[in-house]
Amino acid sequence: MTSNNPFAPPGPSGRQPQYMTVGSGSTSESAARLQAMLDEDSGYGGSMDGEAIDSSAWHAGLSQDRFTPEHTPVAPGESNAASENERRALASHVHQLFYNQNRTALGRAINQTAETLRKLQEMNAKWPAHYPTVQRPPEPERQPKIDVRPGLAHTQSTMDNHREKGKAPVRPQPPKRAGTSLGEHQSADAEAEAEASSSAVAKQPEPAPRLVTPQLAQDFSVLKIELKMDGLAQSEIVHSLEKHSVASLLDNQINNSIRHLLALRERIEDTSSKVLVTGDLNAGKSTFCNALLRRKVLPEDQQPCTSIFCEVLDVRENGGIEEVHAIPHGYKYSRNDESTYRVFALKQLEDIVIDSDHYSQCKIYIKDIRSVDQSLLNNGVVDIALIDAPGLNNDSLKTTAVFARQEEIDVVVFVVSAANHFTLSAKEFIFNAAREKAYMFMVVNGYDNIRDKNRCQQMILKQIAHLSPATFKESSELVHFVSSNAIPVAPAPDNGPGGGSGGSGSAGASFDGGDDKPDKPPSDDEEPTGKHGEPGSPPKKKGKGKEKEAQDDFNELEASLRRFVLEKRARSKLAPAKTYLMNVLGDLGTLAGVNRDVAQNELDRVTDELRQLEPVFEKSKKARTEADDQVANNIEDTSNEVYQLTRNTVNSSIVQVAEADLGVDYPGVFGAYNYADNLKVAMLNQITETVRWCEERAREKTVNGVSSIKSLGLLHLGDQYVDLTFRSEKMFRSRRDALARQVDFETEVSDFFDFANIWERQEKVAGTSMAVTVAGVVGSRMIGGVGWLDGALTATKVVGTNNIRRLIIPGLLTAAMLGVAYAVSQIPHSLPRRLSAKLSAQLAQLDYTHSNATRISAEVRRALKFPADKLREGLQRSVEHLQEQKRETVKVQQESEVARKYFGNLVRDSNDIRTRVQRVDLEGPAPGVAAAYGM
């Protein structure tokens, strides 16, 4: 298409083609302003708290979804050519197509985003995501969920004061993943970002583990975690939260987000637009609604009557049946479920609207008697529902305010009495609603009653300027001074809502103005009615009657309202979805980016940790084996050594006990037996003492052994080695005096005379005679009891036959005496030997040496075994601990690997969806339209 195409917009067209204008020619400029106004409307249609619609690029164009009726009311003198109408109809269809395309694209994006969020939930359950906390600046206004009305600002400042004044709360130890958060291991980007930030931020206390930079936290809009706790700053609360708590908060947030996305999907799929008509009691709301419908549907009365919300819908939505569905309190309306409402005929409406005791609202299905191009309800493009609200008074003010905030309310029409102006309730309502919906459609009704119309306009506009500056700015388009009762309406159904301005019965054709028109015909000197406040706006033709003027004004209002509703629809339905999607996907991207980096950091950290852990683990295993061997050897060597030492020492002690100076004095032959007993005791003591000495040595060796085990422990376990107090005195507590009981031998006479030994000894001793020898021999025989005769014979042999007779008697005596004396004198020498020999024999029989050596070495072994076992346990524990650490680290490594991949993909996916959402152009002309019109 070229610029000379027959559909080219007439007149100088800026960004707004003229053929788009609905209504009189005089409104095109206003319409253009409305577009500009919509550009700036950041609150209207916003469905979420704080949800901002970035409409800076908004401009009116072909893309705008608007009703282009075949017989659009036009200003006098404007061409209403068929081609114009066709073009408008065509444009309307194209716009609808474009709207549908956008709606489908957004619907698909919503599904994908919800699915992505669900997957994030699953991931978050396995790998608790790191979450940037909201580190709110101290200004009270930054508190998003707290009323921004100045009066309430102190709420937040109190919290901050708490934070400043209160002592810093004790923060728990960081969770395990501490080292991996960007707060500590910032990625290059995050670092650059941190550097770019103010020094104040840099001076902030060390970011807590799971926090990322505050800047990132600020970026979050939808998935922001809001926490409130008295006296604690947000960040401090999150600081103190364990990672699973953060994860469950995020999970909760995701749930909310998914819920909201589904609500948005429902909303964009909903083809209807709801217009809430509210205002003071008796302002003429019902009359206004009836005028819009050109039919007397709602009861009008001079006294307050509407006390429930009455929603007027097109009859097609109820299968073509005109009726009223009254919804009792506590029921959620569902048209297909008759148990949720009660059905009444239209004529019963009068009774229903006042019955607020039983019903909360009602749905009125009516047939709009006007044609599709004139009808507001049945306009061929969008299903509009008109909601007549109860007059604002103390009871319903709150309810209406809540109602007005509902997402499905696209437009609020405020009806104010021209005579009464704004009441306190009205002001309060507008002030509150202005936060949600920046623009409001104002209908100043009952204008016919006003004589000084200029003054009235000025006063009302002044009030509007104060109450809703945005609306005031566009007052020419949004503020209308009309007389609703001047509009001819079709009569009420039989016995239906009575009173008011029932028309002649020919719908939309009769302009008789009704019975109760208070106006008299205008006089020439009367102020002209018409658009207010527009400099240079042409005065109304004076020749025409007031009725016609009032109808023109109302027509103008209708055109503006239709524009407002239809144009708003695209923004109020699609824009919140787009904005929310952009926000949530932006958040997802940020969250994913942060977590991808965290996962990467974590992966790097654990990989590094594993690299370091591997040799430590191997070393620990080796140490365990080595120390095990060393300890075993230590025990073996020590106990063997102790065994040998004991054995040798005790053996030699036994052998030498006879020679040892036992300190027992020989009291003489008469105390020989005592001497023998004492000797025995002394010998036993000597041997016992030797054993004790061995035990002492064994104790020393054990102490050495224990300390060498300790050094092994310290060497291999370091700090983890648990030192044990070794109390060596507890060793060898028993069996030390057992020997005396075990050894049991009697001293015999023969023990006193060790002849064999004496013989040996006398040869060595000088001066001993043969007689001694003889005496010894004889004596020994005699004493030995072998027989004295043998001894005598032997002596004969020795002495010789010749001397025998001479020597026999004295010699024998002497010899015997000498021998006995000698033997007796040898008792101190003989007895110890004999006793020691006997002792030795008995000890040998008792296996004394071996059993003591075994006992002592066993005790040593036992004493060493305890610390050795402890050391082994410690080493084993250390190995197991390292093994566990390794297992854990490998697990974290695998999880981080998975998380890194997942979040990497999430970054990509969320960006992809976001790009697609971004491409959904709610602002510019549809590409098809642009092409068709050569734009």
Ligand X SMILES: Nc1nc2c(ncn2[C@@H]2O[C@H](COP(=O)(O)OP(=O)(O)OP(=O)(O)O)[C@@H](O)[C@H]2O)c(=O)[nH]1
Chain residues that interact with ligand X, rule: CB under 6 A: 281-287, 300-302, 304-306, 391, 445-446, 448-449, 483-485, 500, 516, 518
CB of 554 to ligand X, least distance (A): 10
Task: Kindly tell me which of 237 and 305 has the beta carbon lying closer to ligand X.
Answer: 305
How far apart are the C-alpha atoms of 449 and 417, rounded to whole Å? 10
CB of 46 to ligand X, least distance (A): 28
Task: Kindly tell me which of 301 and 383 has the beta carbon lying closer to ligand X.
Answer: 301
Task: Kindly tell me which of 350 and 448 has the beta carbon lying closer to ligand X.
Answer: 448
Task: Kindly tell me which of 140 and 391 has the beta carbon lying closer to ligand X.
Answer: 391
Task: Kindly tell me which of 448 and 587 has the beta carbon lying closer to ligand X.
Answer: 448
Cross-strand bridge partners of residue 359? 328
How far apart are the C-alpha atoms of 560 and 472, rounded to whole Å? 15
Residue 19 per-residue DSSP state: G
CB of 409 to ligand X, least distance (A): 18
Task: Kindly tell me which of 489 and 875 has the beta carbon lying closer to ligand X.
Answer: 489
Buried b (16+ CB within 10 A) or exposed e, 11-28: eeeeebbbbbbbbbbbbb
Sign of CA dihedral 389, 390, 391, 394: negative
Which contiguous run of DSSP H or E holds residue 191?
A: helix 188-196
Contact assessment for residue 502 and residue 489, using Cβ atoms and an 8 Å cutoff: yes
Tokens matching residue 147: 């009323």
CB of 358 to ligand X, least distance (A): 18
Residues in Cβ contact with 772 at an 8 Å cutoff, skipping those fewer than 6 apart? 762, 815, 818, 819, 822
CB of 284 to ligand X, least distance (A): 3
Residue 334 CA: distances (Å) to CA of 94, 261, 318, 325: 33, 22, 11, 10
Tokens matching residue 184: 């500590």
Task: Kindly tell me which of 449 and 905 has the beta carbon lying closer to ligand X.
Answer: 449
CB of 388 to ligand X, least distance (A): 7
Contact assessment for residue 768 and residue 762, using Cβ atoms and an 8 Å cutoff: yes
Residues in Cβ contact with 121 at an 8 Å cutoff, skipping those fewer than 6 apart? 251, 254, 255
CB of 499 to ligand X, least distance (A): 6
Task: Kindly tell me which of 449 and 911 has the beta carbon lying closer to ligand X.
Answer: 449
Residue closest to 278 by CA, chosen among 37, 50, 440: 440
Task: Kindly tell me which of 448 and 567 has the beta carbon lying closer to ligand X.
Answer: 448
Contact assessment for residue 296 and residue 491, using Cβ atoms and an 8 Å cutoff: yes
CB of 415 to ligand X, least distance (A): 6
CB of 289 to ligand X, least distance (A): 8
Task: Kindly tell me which of 396 and 857 has the beta carbon lying closer to ligand X.
Answer: 396
Phi, psi of 392 (to 5 degrees): -75, 120
CB of 933 to ligand X, least distance (A): 42
How far apart are the C-alpha atoms of 715 and 630, rounded to whole Å? 12
How far apart are the C-alpha atoms of 419 and 284, rounded to whole Å? 11
CB of 395 to ligand X, least distance (A): 12
CB of 77 to ligand X, least distance (A): 28
Q: Give 459's Cβ-side CA count (13 Å radius).
A: 14
The amino acid at residue 932 is: A
Task: Kindly tell me which of 285 and 563 has the beta carbon lying closer to ligand X.
Answer: 285
Task: Kindly tell me which of 222 and 283 has the beta carbon lying closer to ligand X.
Answer: 283
Residue 544 CA: distances (Å) to CA of 482, 484, 529, 555, 879: 16, 18, 11, 16, 104
Task: Kindly tell me which of 55 and 423 has the beta carbon lying closer to ligand X.
Answer: 423
Structure-token match 């052998």, residue found: 655
CB of 482 to ligand X, least distance (A): 7
Contact assessment for residue 403 and residue 372, using Cβ atoms and an 8 Å cutoff: no
Sign of CA dihedral 277, 278, 284, 286: positive
What DSSP letter does each residue of 317-375 carry, written as one string? GGTT--EEEEEETT----TT-GGG-EEE-GGGHHHHHT-TTTEEEEEEEE---S-TTT-
